[in-house]
Structure 1
């Protein structure tokens, strides 16, 4: 993900866009290779295997970008900050790492990439670049879904048998999200106040839409940790998991597209919530 000072919409050509996409995938591969090597050195083959799976996933993404590049030669990409963030996994004690934490780090990297390409599409200087950036965003959304599914599996392995849970209701959770967003003090987000108010309004809109036309069934709503609704980020995380899971389960294209749209909106909200 480009640094905070980088304008993601300043992409002048298709070659620049695809070169940036390639750089993002390659740096993720390099980051996971380094982490896998460290886990092997630290005698943590279980975590080395997790990072090897992430390497394979990213190499698949890189191959797809190379297909899109075709005969184009990748252009040099100059960024102020690294694209990949291992969130301290490269230096933290291996005893403190878990597969859940590894997948969480990977998920956040993919979410940042999704947000980047969404902004790139919104501010693209040409229709060709806009369509390509939207395609990148859709690819990243698929990556997010895959990794969050792996993270859920790791989470349930950690919390198997946890009795502290409830049955969930999506409209109620969206209303709760709107409430939490509305409670954020203005001083905590200053100039971002309008964005946060917009996210609160979007949450109420999704709650209303889901009440009028309910979504399908997802097992994620059967056992929801009680703590999910207490804080903004965990609630966004949970809603995103639900919409991504529902997008894979819905029977019609229109229903799947609806859940993907909800997931896209929640990712943007989640990204903003983490910055508060």
Structure 2
């Protein structure tokens, strides 16, 4: 079976792998930015700022990939990669329905921690499945970077108090009229 007829779920070249990694980073930037926008709309500036900071980190990672690969324009992600298929998202993307307008920094960091852990695991699997040394090395490097992100988010989380049990109680909830 030729590759054109059946896309491979595993990047076969370093360029394919890095295009996939870049797409994942850019999707994470978009998702964090969407969350920041949503929370700004609900006047939750503290958490919105935290999500903007996370978006900035992901944007830096995307820029690093572009520079390392010598790309001036982002290439399209290889077809058949997990997050290019319908219903699949990049491991670092967080579900939109996980954001609550009264969430606190602790909640945002929990979401970020889970996303970074998923990305770390994703790259570990790709490293094990890699069919070339170049892809394996790149996957291991990105796995190590994600481990650093996990540690960073965990450090932030250790400094943030857990919310009270009644954190979602709104004394002035939104009212809808027809």
More helix by share: 1
Query: Cα distance 1:37–1:87, how it changes in 2: closer, same or farther (>3 A)?
Result: closer
Alpha-carbon distance in 1 for matches of 2:76, 2:69: 11
Matched residue, 1:62: 62
Matched residue, 1:135: 141
Matched residue, 2:170: none
Matched residue, 2:16: 16
Matched residue, 1:34: 34
Higher relative contact order (CA 8 A, sep 6+): 2
Matched residue, 1:74: 75
Matched residue, 1:184: none
Matched residue, 2:167: none
Equivalent residues, number: 148
What is the SS of the residue equivalent to 1:158?
coil
Alpha-carbon distance in 2 for matches of 1:74, 1:139: 22
Alpha-carbon distance in 2 for matches of 1:76, 1:49: 29
Measure how far apart 1:66 and its partner are: 1.3
Measure how far apart 1:67 and its partner are: 1.9
What is the SS of the residue equivalent to 1:85?
coil
Determine which structure has more spread, i.e. the larger CA radius of gyration: 1
Q: Which runs of 5+ in 1 are unaligned?
A: 1-6, 160-276
Check the 8 A contact 1:110/1:140 in 2, yes or no: yes
Q: Give the structure-1-normalised TM-score.
A: 0.50
Measure how far apart 1:88 and its partner are: 2.0
Matched residue, 2:152: 146
Alpha-carbon distance in 1 for matches of 2:28, 2:151: 17
Matched residue, 1:107: 113
Q: What is the root-mean-square deviation of aligned Cα atoms in Å?
A: 2.1
Question: Match for 2:98 among 81, 89, 100?
Answer: 89
Query: Cα distance 1:131–1:104, how it changes in 2: closer, same or farther (>3 A)?
Result: same
Measure how far apart 1:87 and its partner are: 5.7
Matched residue, 1:196: none
Instruction: Give the 5 Å matches for 1:1-276.
Output: 10-71=10-71, 74-78=75-79, 79-80=84-85, 81-83=88-90, 84-86=93-95, 88-90=97-99, 92=100, 94-95=101-102, 97-154=103-160, 157-158=161-162
